[in-house]
Structure formats: C-alpha cells, structure tokens
C-alpha cells in the first residue's frame, strides 16, 4: 500500500412548537398539517419548514450563475424575486458523482442552508460550517452534519454552503484569461466568502448575530477554513474559527498551479491560445479528466531536514496568488489579518483507521515490528528506525499496528495542527486552543479484530450533537463510526457544548468539563475530548521532539 502523505486525505474522501407571530415572518399550515415559516431576505421572501422547534431553510441561493460564460469566473448577480420562494429542499451540490438522498450535482451550485431556533432577532451566535471532502467532493446537506440539534439544544444558528469544487472551482486561469478570470484558482473559497457576506446581510432575519460569526470545518473543510482565516475577502464577516482534522498550513504556488493547467490542456488537446474551449467542454468530461490527473491534493510540504518547499502537480484547490490568498495560511506564520480572532485547532487520535476502512486495508493490522519497519521505509528512509524507536519509547506496550496508526494519524493531521497552534501563539494576539478528540468506538475495521477507535470524520456527528438517544424513547441505533456504547452521547454533548460556547464567547467551555486553558509554549495544554474530558500538558512530547529532530515539525 502506498503511504498516505500529509493531508493527502483531502482529495480522497466523501463524507455525512408553538408559533410566535412577529413582523419578520409568519407560520403557515399546509393541507397535510405541515408547519411552514416565511422570512425576508435581501432578495425576496422565502418559505422554510419548522421541525421540532427548529426553523429549517434549505437551498437558499446566495450567488448566481457559474455555468456557461460564467464558468471559472465570479458568479452572475442574483436578481430579486417576487412572491415567496420555497426553501424546502436542498440545492444542488457541486459537480461530482451523484450523492445519495441529495439533488443531482450541478455546475450551478451556490446554495446554502440555515437552521435556527426562531426568526426572532435574538442575535444568537452563528456557526458557519464548510463541509469536508477535500476540495473535490462533499455538500452542505450531508446527513451527519445536520444542524438541527445544535440549533435546538444550544440556541445557535447554523449555516452551511454548497460551493464550487475540483476543476470547476480551482483551475488556475489567471495568466491565460486576464482580468475577467482573476482569482479563478480560488473560486471555490471565494464562493464560501460570498456565503459569509450573505450571512452578514441576512442572518439577523434568522435570529442570528451578524457580528458574532464562527467559521468551522472538518477535513477539507478545515483546510478551507484555514484559507478563509487568511483571506481579506472573508475577513469582515467572521470573528472566530475552528480547524478540525484538516490543517491547511500551506497551499499551492502559482507556478505549480500553472503547470497543472498546462497538463489539463494537453490532456484535452487544447492549445493555450484556444483555452476558451474549456468553456464548451461538458461537465461530465471535465469530471472524468479531473479523475485522470494525478490525484494529489494541492499543498506544499516541507522537504525533511532541508526545510525547503516542494510542490506536487495535480489535484485542485486554493493557490497562493498574492491577492485572494495573499500568503500561505500558516506559513511562515499565522495570518496577521486574523490576529485578533480566537482559534480552535486539533485532530482525532486514530485518524488512520478511517483510511484503513476506506481502502480495505487489513494487512496493516497483522504486521510485526519487522513489517512496520518495511512499511515505513518508503516514506521515512533513513529516519525510519528513529521514528519507530521514539514511539516504542513513548508507548512501551503498543503493538506494531498501534504504532502504525499513531504515526499515520499524527502525520496526517496532528503535526499541522500543532504547527498552527504554535504559530498562532507566537503571534501574541487572540488565543488558540488545541484539542484531541479521543472517544473510542468499539466498532472493528472490517476484516480485522482492530477497533476503529477515533477515526477521521467521526467527530462530525459528535460536534453536531447528532449522537443522541432517540427523542421518542426507542432503542438507539448503532452509530456509523461511533458504535453502540451509550457513553458516546455524553462525548457528543461535551463536544457540541464546547464548540457552541466558543461560538458564543470566544472561549470553549462546558459543564462537567475542566477549564480549557489557551495554548502556550510552556505548558502546551491540550484538551482531550471524550465522555470524560481532560487537559493534558505537553502531550506527545517524546514523539514531537523526534518529529522536530527530523524536520517534520
């Protein structure tokens, strides 16, 4: 099995009352007994549905046409509408393979969804989530990230967007297309910034505070959040952020992005002078071509002890263009533009077990230490023994598979998260809080006797408080990753309360959870989130000293 490079996961996964009458909205009853709610937006009136104490508005357009002559460009302006527009069904996700229980993907995909306890001008904190799936797949309608329980149980407003992905959202044409195509390689994150602007202009009508907005995201959504944290166009519209299992320290250079564009044109047999033929290529053909290109996420990685930067061709995602994304999000330091914005950052303890499940990797859980040496050598070369010895010293009772999972997990998500926490701390601005999610699922990786533990993406349903007992008192169903143990409900409540309190105040806190100190370079505190939460100082000290010694941190 080929090694999974740091953040390579970003391109490979697809992840999941009584009505009050006030002037801004009113409830309606359908002939079937459904309860609807209407509210105003800057473009016209919309109708959503009220479900168990939460108003839900789906498929609200926040940007216009991005197909045809608008492909690879800023969206066309949206026209105001008359009458009442239904916001009862999710909008189309970006072009990708069809998604179960969602609309057919479409090039025109700029829609957002809102969950709110009430449209009552209460000025609740707003939690604006960017979905995972790298920069190539995903949607704001995935079931595991349903915002209803966060809104219902913690009195917040939740917003999620669909936005352009892959080749259509991140193809670098700035040097070919001129002013009309400026920022083309960053259209996907510019779409998200446009969604944030919509929130600023409209969220008060949904009971949210436009001046108290938290951006957050997991996996690819964490990398998107990293970019937003460094983007001037997004800066006026949020106050705090959380980067979860997707530390976007560095993005792609213009030079490497231009080479990827040249590679695409060659594959399509289109000359540079005729690049506008890209506007005529059917989306299905573009999607097929995207899959043919080297399937590597756009990022730059430090080249071991030499500390140089190395770009890797292929993949589609944000580029450091000096304008939309002026610098790498967290290299050489934390972005000055967000110096005063509090930050959460962290990862799951057993990230790799997700990829074992996804890749049907069973061999990694049968190997001994000789096998571990052979498995790691292609990635770590002469440093392999140093890496293994550090982990055996730190965890003397760990098996070879245990150590493989630990190494793979921290190099995917942990080292970048710690790098971000350290750089944010050195900035001497707003605080940063470092976490590990550690609740252990007893579910086994198929074909093995090895438990999933805390795999990549398991945190989604936990932080959205979607790990709760059924409200009707029936027996709980097994969680997809989280397993059957009832302790998962406690862990989910802790996670959700920590995040919603951070959204409200800028400092994470929860009942029955120890005080969470901001990260500092002396004690290096980390919150381990589970059914029993604890603060651990200088966690992974032996392992991190080794990673620093070989130039990986």
Tokens matching residue 168: 């259509």
CA atoms 152, 153, 156, 159: torsion sign: negative
CA angle 263, 265, 268 (to 5 degrees): 110
Ranges assigned E (strand) in 240-374: 240-244, 252-253, 300-303, 308-311, 319-320, 343-348
Answer whether residue 452 shows pLDDT above 70: yes
pLDDT digits (tens, 9 = 90+) for 480-507: 999 999 999 999 999 999 999 999 999 9
- Give backbone dihedrals phi and psi of 60, rounded to 5 degrees, phi first: -80, 125
pLDDT at position 471 is: 82
Does residue 14 surpass a pLDDT of 70? no
Asked if 529 and 494 touch (Cβ cutoff 8 Å), the reply is: yes
Phi, psi (degrees; rounded to nearest 5) at 190: -65, -35
pLDDT attached to residue 11 = 36
Q: Is the dihedral of CA 109, 114, 120, 125 positive or negative?
A: negative
- On the question of pLDDT at 305 being above 70, the answer is no
Phi, psi dihedrals of residue 414, rounded to the nearest 5°: -75, -45
DSSP state of 474: P
DSSP H helices, 138-214, are 148-154, 166-170, 174-177, 187-202
Return d(Cα 98, Cα 105) in angstroms, integer: 6
Distance (Å) of CA 332 to CA 61, 83, 304, 317, 486: 37, 51, 16, 20, 44
> What span, in angstroms and rounded, lies between the C-alpha atoms of 287 and 93?
14
Alpha-carbon distance 70 to 73, whole Å? 5
CB atoms inside a 10 Å sphere around CB 452: 23
At 296, is the secondary structure helix, strand, or coil?
coil
Q: How confident is residue 4, by pLDDT bands cut at 50, 70 and 90?
A: very low
Give the position of tokens 């009430």. Answer: 118
Q: Which domains occur in the chain, in start order?
A: 22-244 (3.40.50.1820), 336-549 (3.40.50.1820)
End-to-end C-alpha distance for the chain, whole angstroms: 25
CA 528 to chain centre: 20
* Residue 311 reports pLDDT greater than 60: no
Span of 104-108, 472-476, 536-540 with lowest mean pLDDT: 472-476
Give the strand pairing for 441-444 and 451-453: antiparallel
Evaluate if residue 44 carries a pLDDT over 50: yes
Tell me what pLDDT residue 34 has.
Answer: 63
CA distance 2 to 179: 41
One of 219, 364, 408, 479 is an active-site residue; which one?
219
Task: Report the DSSP pairing between strands 534-537 and 525-529.
Answer: antiparallel
- Note whether 467 and 492 are within 8 A (CB): yes
Question: Mean of the per-residue pLDDT values for the chain?
Answer: 91
Cα distance between residue 379 and residue 357, in whole Å: 21
> CA–CA separation, 268 vs 276, rounded Å?
12
Helix (H, G, I), strand (E, B) or coil at 55: strand
Place of tokens 């999610």: 437
Phi, psi for residue 20 in degrees, rounded to 5: -110, 125
Using the structure block, give the residue that is written with the tokens 């993005």: 251
pLDDT in tens, 64-80: 999 999 999 999 999 99
C-beta atoms surrounding 310 within 10 Å: 11
Distance of CA 207 to the CA centre of its chain: 25
Rounded CA-CA distance 203/39 in Å is 11
Over residues 198-233, the pLDDT tens digits come to: 999 999 999 999 999 999 999 999 999 999 999 999
pTM (predicted TM-score): 0.93
Beta-carbon-side half-sphere exposure of residue 54 (alpha carbons within 13 Å): 21
Q: How far apart are CA 461 and CA 107, in angstroms?
A: 28
Of 20-24, 183-187, 381-385, the least confident: 20-24
Residue percentage of the chain with pLDDT more than 90 = 86
d(CA 219, CA 254): 23
Residues 6+ apart with CB under 8 A from 149: 464, 465, 466, 468, 496
CA 534 to chain CA centroid, nearest Å: 25
User: Is 502:242 a contact under the CB 8 Å cutoff?
Assistant: yes
Could you read off the pLDDT of 389-435 as tens digits, one per residue? 999 999 999 999 999 999 999 999 999 999 999 999 999 999 999 99
d(CA 468, CA 478): 11
313 pLDDT band, cuts 50/70/90, is low
Whether the per-residue pLDDT at 8 is higher than 70: the answer is no
Does the active-site annotation cover 219?
Answer: yes
The H or E element that residue 86 is part of is: strand 84-86
User: For every residue of 230-261, which 3-state class applies, written as one string?
Assistant: CCCCCHHHCCEEEEECCCCCCCEEHHHHHHHH
């Amino acid at each position: 099995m080929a090694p999974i490079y740091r953040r390579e996961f970003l391109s490979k996964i697809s992840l999941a009352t009584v009505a009050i009458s006030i002037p801004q909205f009113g409830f309606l009853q359908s002939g079937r007994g459904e309860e609807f709610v209407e509210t105003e937006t800057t473009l016209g009136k919309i109708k959503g549905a009220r479900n168990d104490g939460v108003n839900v508005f789906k498929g609200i357009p926040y940007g216009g046409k991005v197909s045809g002559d608008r492909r690879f460009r800023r969206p066309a302006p949206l026209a105001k509408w008359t009458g009442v527009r239904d916001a009862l069904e999710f909008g189309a996700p970006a072009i990708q393979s069809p998604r179960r229980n969602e609309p057919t993907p479409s090039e025109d995909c700029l829609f957002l969804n809102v969950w709110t306890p009430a449209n009552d001008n209460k000025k609740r904190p707003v939690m604006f989530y960017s979905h995972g799936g790298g920069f190539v797949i995903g949607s704001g309608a995935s079931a595991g990230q349903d915002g209803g329980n966060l809104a219902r149980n913690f009195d917040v407003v939740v917003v999620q967007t669909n936005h352009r992905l892959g080749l259509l959202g991140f193809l670098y044409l700035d040097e070919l297309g001129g002013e009309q195509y400026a920022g083309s390689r960053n259209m996907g994150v510019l779409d998200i910034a446009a969604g944030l602007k919509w929130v600023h202009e409209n969220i008060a009508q949904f009971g949210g505070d436009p001046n108290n907005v938290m951006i957050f995201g997991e996996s690819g959504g964490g990398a998107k959040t990293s970019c937003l944290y460094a983007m001037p166009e997004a800066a006026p519209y949020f106050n705090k952020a959380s980067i979860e299992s997707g530390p976007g320290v560095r993005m792609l250079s213009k030079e490497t992005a231009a080479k990827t564009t040249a590679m695409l044109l060659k594959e399509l047999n289109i000359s540079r002078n005729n690049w506008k033929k890209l506007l005529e290529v059917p989306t299905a053909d573009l999607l097929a071509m995207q899959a043919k290109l080297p399937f590597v996420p756009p990022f730059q990685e430090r080249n071991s002890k030499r500390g140089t930067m190395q770009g890797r061709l292929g993949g589609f995602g944000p580029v450091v263009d000096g304008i939309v994304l002026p610098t790498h999000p967290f290299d050489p330091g934390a972005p000055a533009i967000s110096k005063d914005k509090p930050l959460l950052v962290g990862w799951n303890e057993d990230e790799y077990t997700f990829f074992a499940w996804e890749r049907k990797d069973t061999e990694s859980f049968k190997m001994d230490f000789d096998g571990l040496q052979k498995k790691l050598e292609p990635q770590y070369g002469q440093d392999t023994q140093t890496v293994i010895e550090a982990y055996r010293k730190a965890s003397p009772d760990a098996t070879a598979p245990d150590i493989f999972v630990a190494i793979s997990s921290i190099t995917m998500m942990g080292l970048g998260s710690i790098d971000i926490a350290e750089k944010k701390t050195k900035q001497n601005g707003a605080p940063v809080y470092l976490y590990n999610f550690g609740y252990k699922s007893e579910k086994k990786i198929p074909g093995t006797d090895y438990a999933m533990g805390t795999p990549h993406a398991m945190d989604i349903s936990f932080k959205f408080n979607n790990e709760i007992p059924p409200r009707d008192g029936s027996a709980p169903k097994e969680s997809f990753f989280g397993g059957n143990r009832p302790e998962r409900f406690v862990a989910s409540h802790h996670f959700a309360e920590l995040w919603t309190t951070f959204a409200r105040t800028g400092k994470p806190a929860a009942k029955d959870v120890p005080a969470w100190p901001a990260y500092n370079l002396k004690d290096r505190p980390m919150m381990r989130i589970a059914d029993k939460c604890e603060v651990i100082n200088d966690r992974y000290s032996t392992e991190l000293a080794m990673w620093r010694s070989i130039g990986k941190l």
